[in-house]
Chains A and B, each alone.
Chain A
Amino acid sequence: GAVVSQHPSRVICKSGTSVKIECRSLDFQATTMFWYRQFPKQSLMLMATSNEGSKATYEQGVEKDKFLINHASLTLSTLTVTSAHPEDSSFYICSARVGTSAYNEQFFGPGTRLTVL
């Protein structure tokens, strides 16, 4: 299957700082990537859809000025959590849709555990 990487896998930061998370499709081009947030033992919550070369589309209730998304190339999307606070602590996962697939199959990165102190 298609491989998606995420970096870093874990990050601990102080309240008020910004954190950038990278999501890369390693062996395919992804015109569309997705960013999810997940709380312990819960399902995935879609935060935003990232399209290469255009502005991200955010889900209702997600602050676009706080969660900045950039999809500058067909293999890289980044999520920047600005002015992070303890309530932003969570598991963030990205996924990429394979453009050649006839179905909306998404391949997920390994996730990033963010802890804000």
Chain B
Amino acid sequence: TQLLEQSPQFLSIQEGENLTVYCNSSSVFSSLQWYRQEPGEGPVLLVTVVTGGEVKKLKRLTFQFGDARKDSSLHITAAQPGDTGLYLCAGDGNTGKLIFGQGTTLQVKP
């Protein structure tokens, strides 16, 4: 069974601080997606990483895929209250289904 361990599950920080969310697995994924979800809404795709060692940037968000394609991280620089939400990583294990991490609830206080 493929699993994605996401940490931390909860994070409360002050505006301007930096943070990193991790997703780790013992399985190899052909691609990995990061989503952000706000309360009462569906997840929104932020990025897809597919190559080992790949780094993608989306404004203040930096996504990295591990060299072995078993882990990924999301780093947010100078967090803002608008970054508040649930962040989800999801790996494609070639079963046709996405394997989701447990999610990270981020609260950024002004």
Contact = CB atoms under 8 A, between A and B. Distances in A.
Contacts of A1: 45
B43 A44 contact: yes
Chain A interface extent, by class: 20 to 34
- Looking at chain A's contact residues, the main secondary structure is strand
Main secondary structure on B side of the interface with A:
strand
A12 B108 CA distance: 33
Nearest to B30: A103
B96 interface: yes
Contacts of A110: 41-42
A64 interface: no
Given A44-B88, A46-B98, A104-B98, 17 more contacts: A4-B42, A6-B42, A32-B96, A42-B103, A43-B6, A43-B88, A43-B100, A44-B100, A49-B97, A95-B42, A103-B50, A105-B33, A105-B48, A106-B90, A106-B98, A107-B45, A108-B43
